[in-house]
Structure 1
Amino acid sequence: MKQNTIRTNSMKAWLLAARPKTLTGAAVPVMIGTALAYTDSTEIYSFNHVAAILCFLFAFVMQINANLINDFFDYMKGTDKNEERLGPRRACAQGWITTDAMKKAIITITVAACIIGLPLTLFGGYEMILIGIICIVFCFLYTTHMSYIGLGDILVVVFFGIIPVCITYYIQTRTCTLETFIMSIASGLVTDALLIVNNFRDRDTDRNAGKNTLVVRIGPENSLKAYLYIGLTAFFMGSVFLINGRYAAFAMPAIYLVMHIITYRKMKRIYKGKALNMCLADTARNIFIYGLCVSVGLMLQ
């Protein structure tokens, strides 16, 4: 897509900056936490649909905020150089969004996330305020610092796995089971595959920009192995469902595992260049398949 086809600060420009395709990654952990809570709901803590909707909305808004923050700060650091970039074009680097407008949007969406998240205190208690603050702080720290020192993958496991799955479950049940915690880690691992393939594609430009991602640190061959093994690990972590006789919730993600292995082989074959964007899209699809399979499997128990 050429720069001059997008009018500066237009609706189309903001839509591209928001990266709506990434919202599936935000939805999956909340989906899994919601499905677990729904199947575990009791007469004391019955499932609340309003709370579930708020969890989804908060996750979506925070994902958009993270995308804008990433766009802005990577541009300011010079990471998204147009002539070198292999991934999808970014709004600030392309001139689609001005830096002043992006700063105002980040402030506005951060405030919107606070407004959406505040009512969750009615369901999960005032500790939800602390959780919200942590999410917002690390939303900024990921792009500005953590991703540059190879800690981005840990943050993905925490903020796309442990926190959204466990907190979504806690809001509905006021507790957190071992089963939920294990599946929260599995959710984080599945989502981290997206970061690995993204950083695998950008390993050369990241290294040149001083961005020492995990892929840069461990090298391409070990990164390919990491991509494969986190998918395998996530699938087999689902064996925790067998303890409670949730056989479908364990078996159905086998569909995801097959798709994950196919994507791994494609990624290994392509190895480098813009063609890896196909693997990025495939991985995003796989994440959604995983969340859907786990959630439907739970409902079928």
Structure 2
Amino acid sequence: MKTNLYSWILAIRPKTLPAAICPVLVASALAFQAESFQWLPALLCLLFALLIQIGTNFANDYYDFIKGADTEERQGPKRMTASGLISLKRMKLMTAVIFFLAFMVGVGLLPFGGWWLLAVGILSILLGYGYTGGPFPLAYLGLGEIFVMIFFGWVAVGCTYMVQAGGFNAIVLLAGTAVGALSTNLLVVNNHRDVETDIKANKRTLAVRFGRVFSALEYRVWFAIALLCTLIMAVLLKSFWMLLPLAVLPLGIKLCKMIGLPQTGPVYIRMLGKTAAILVLYCLLMSVGLFLS
């Protein structure tokens, strides 16, 4: 089977990559504010986060097809193994390669943060596989949101900050919560869209368990959490500049209204892109606010 580069680019799922990039950006801005920014560990954290995200996406592509979650009925973006553009064998091999590269990059962080980072790295890889694979796949048990919140919020922001600044504080926790909340909404949109096909595959996401009314509410709650964290950070840092991320409010309100209405597959795809745009813009503005504070 001939696989072209474009198929692999689609398999990477570029719209999900902000979930890996944004925590590192915000954490590095926090380190800069603390006069502790170090470009090498920041770069290694960025590369590690990207590889974990890509590896998880590859594993998701592979296992969702194996388990019947990706079918022709699915309304979302085309999946490579389900469409036959990438063979199962190649996808499985590349998943392993990407996670191995992530492990090697993680080893490079040990001089900056200590041996405890090895446990964080190994756990990240195992849960990347276990998101849709293994005997207890997180996504199929309705634990996907918890995974994203922890690893693309608190862990990503916290660890990136710690390898540069050597510590942790309330501001870092708030920033990690805000970034994790907006990253989680990327998953919420996907689960909200895929309810019918997930039911057939016995993929018990929160949207499947409690319905689309619940997942629409969930989207709004995560967005509100991010805004609340922004306000608290502005108060704690006593900085008007920390209110800059509130510029995402108009688009966020629009999406919060849209997700509560019946939509078609193409609309959900656009919503996913706009949700990613909110995450990117929010984190860029938070970083600018931290630089100016």
TM-score normalized with structure 2 length? 0.95
Counterparts of 2:276 and 2:268, CA distance in 1: 13
Amino acid at match of 2:27: G
Amino acid at match of 2:213: E
Tell whether the 8 Å contact from 1:228 to 1:264 is kept in structure 2 after alignment: yes
The equivalent of 2:240 in structure 1 is 247
> Superposition pairs for residues 239-278 of structure 1, below 5 Å?
239-241=231-233, 242-249=235-242, 251-278=243-270
Matching of residue 188 in structure 1 with residue 180 in structure 2: yes
| Offset from partner CA, 1:210-229 (integer Å, 9 cap, x none) | 11101111211122111112
Matching of residue 73 in structure 1 with residue 59 in structure 2: no
The equivalent of 1:233 in structure 2 is 225
Q: 2:275 aligns with which of 283, 288, 297?
A: 283
Give the superposition deviation at 1:272: 5.0
Counterparts of 2:15 and 2:286, CA distance in 1: 20
Matching of residue 172 in structure 1 with residue 164 in structure 2: yes
Amino acid at match of 2:240: Y
| Offset from partner CA, 1:55-96 (integer Å, 9 cap, x none) | 111111111111100000111111101x21100011101111
Matching of residue 24 in structure 1 with residue 18 in structure 2: yes
Point out the more displaced range, 16-25 or 161-170: 16-25
- Give the count of matched residue pairs: 289
Tell whether the 8 Å contact from 1:231 to 1:257 is kept in structure 2 after alignment: no
The equivalent of 2:207 in structure 1 is 215
Q: 1:153 aligns with which of 139, 145, 149?
A: 145
SS of structure 1 residue aligned to 2:132:
helix
5+ residue gaps, structure 1: 1-6
Give the superposition deviation at 1:128: 1.1
Tell whether the 8 Å contact from 1:201 to 1:274 is kept in structure 2 after alignment: no
The equivalent of 1:57 in structure 2 is 47
Let me know the Cα RMSD of the aligned residues: 1.4
The equivalent of 2:97 in structure 1 is 108
Point out the more displaced range, 150-159 or 239-248: 239-248
State the identity as a percent.
Answer: 35
| Offset from partner CA, 1:152-186 (integer Å, 9 cap, x none) | 01011001101000000100111110111122112
Counterparts of 1:66 and 1:35, CA distance in 2: 26
| Offset from partner CA, 1:96-129 (integer Å, 9 cap, x none) | 1111111111111111111111111111111111
Counterparts of 2:215 and 2:76, CA distance in 1: 18
Matching of residue 34 in structure 1 with residue 23 in structure 2: no
Give the superposition deviation at 1:244: 2.1
> Superposition pairs for residues 60-139 of structure 1, below 5 Å?
60-81=50-71, 83-139=72-128
Counterparts of 1:89 and 1:53, CA distance in 2: 31
Counterparts of 1:8 and 1:266, CA distance in 2: 40
TM-score normalized with structure 1 length? 0.92
The equivalent of 1:3 in structure 2 is none
Tell whether the 8 Å contact from 1:152 to 1:213 is kept in structure 2 after alignment: yes
Amino acid at match of 1:21: K
| Offset from partner CA, 1:7-66 (integer Å, 9 cap, x none) | 73222221111122321121111111111111112xxxx421111111111111111111
The equivalent of 1:4 in structure 2 is none
Give the superposition deviation at 1:293: 1.2
Give the superposition deviation at 1:240: 2.7
Amino acid at match of 1:138: L
SS of structure 2 residue aligned to 1:269:
coil
Counterparts of 2:285 and 2:223, CA distance in 1: 14
Counterparts of 2:126 and 2:8, CA distance in 1: 23
Distance change (3 Å), C-alpha of 1:16 and 1:272? closer
Counterparts of 2:39 and 2:195, CA distance in 1: 42
Counterparts of 2:42 and 2:75, CA distance in 1: 37
